A = this chain, B = another copy of it.
């Protein structure tokens, strides 16, 4: 009655096959493979040998089903549908790398799903699929409420982003406000008079950076010029065109706080194209501290997000949630890294 011939497992064999070949029961094979001491050494060796030569692969799904766990964490980048452009921001990537790394240490695999669970394409299929032991949202994007909803129904969720007062789930994030305040204050203290802001205010994280920017302005007694706030997406190409007009405003500002390094790079490229020098004419500070920022010309002064720490904290908290404890939200310090683009140091050449 059973028909194994259609098995879709990578290697067509099952434990039953191995058991038969080894002349033992399935249980014994299972135990041999999981390293139980309840198996005679000789038996184990024989089984292992057969496993090897037959190219058997255990079916993790069945295994996990039986074990009632998945040892998998779903990592979601809440980005717009139809494109993963956004993800190519080095910051997100590095975060993914760190998460994969940290989760790996704890024996978890990472499942990247293309779309957030709520905009599932299956029409009329209004239920969520649980394929992981927990979920990490990297950034809230424009989906704060959905994420909140999701988190409310499922304890095993942590998210990276802006911790807001009304969040009832665990959010871990950088001190966006403080970081932005430092950055802006730094340029001001360097004698810059008028600082522009670049970023997408509809994203909570970015809005926090905007707040920090405003705070620094206020603290320095500067009046705020709304026209110097320019909406810009993360993607470098789009950022490039979003900020292409900035040079026209030029003498009105002599500093730029860009809410991500990629945006800073785009802005610098635009300024350069118009013959405006960075940092001589305009001081620029970014946010994130992406790896290549230190090697550019000029090198980018930025607010460093402690991404490694962040990943570790996220994973810690998620594992706590999975273990049934209550994870606690955290705000990680962000630190100003002074390089050339702000003009604090003299640029050396070129």
Contacts and interface: CB of A to CB of B under 8 A. Distances in A.
Nearest to A94: B88
Nearest to A58: B129
Contacts of A128: 10-11, 57-58
A65 B65 contact: yes
A151 to B, nearest CB: 11
Contact of A61 (B65, B112, B154, B298): B65
Contacts of A51: 126-127
B272 A350 contact: yes
A319 interface: no
A223 interface: no
A340 to B, nearest CB: 11
A97 B87 contact: yes
Contact of A127 (B58, B85, B127, B155): B58
Interface residues of A, number: 87
A72 B41 CA distance: 36
A111 B134 CA distance: 14
Nearest to A109: B113
Contacts of A10: 128, 130, 132-135, 154-156
A115 interface: yes
A110 B111 contact: yes
Given A114-B101, A292-B262, A62 B59 contact: no
B109 A109 contact: no
Interface stretch (A1-9, A189-197, A250-258): A1-9
A147 to B, nearest CB: 14
Nearest to A51: B127
A134 B9 CA distance: 9
Contact of A98 (B84, B113, B298): B84
Given A33-B127, A61-B70, A295-B269, A93 B98 contact: no
A126 B18 CA distance: 14
Interface string A73-113: 00000000001110110100110111011011000011111
A94 B88 CA distance: 6
A40 interface: no
A205 to B, nearest CB: 20
Contacts of A273: 348
A52 to B, nearest CB: 6
Interface in A115-168: 115, 122-135, 153-156
Interface string A293-317: 0011110000000000000000000
A248 interface: no
Nearest to A107: B121
Nearest to A295: B269
Contacts of A130: 9-11, 57-60
Contacts of A115: 104
A150 to B, nearest CB: 10
A226 interface: no
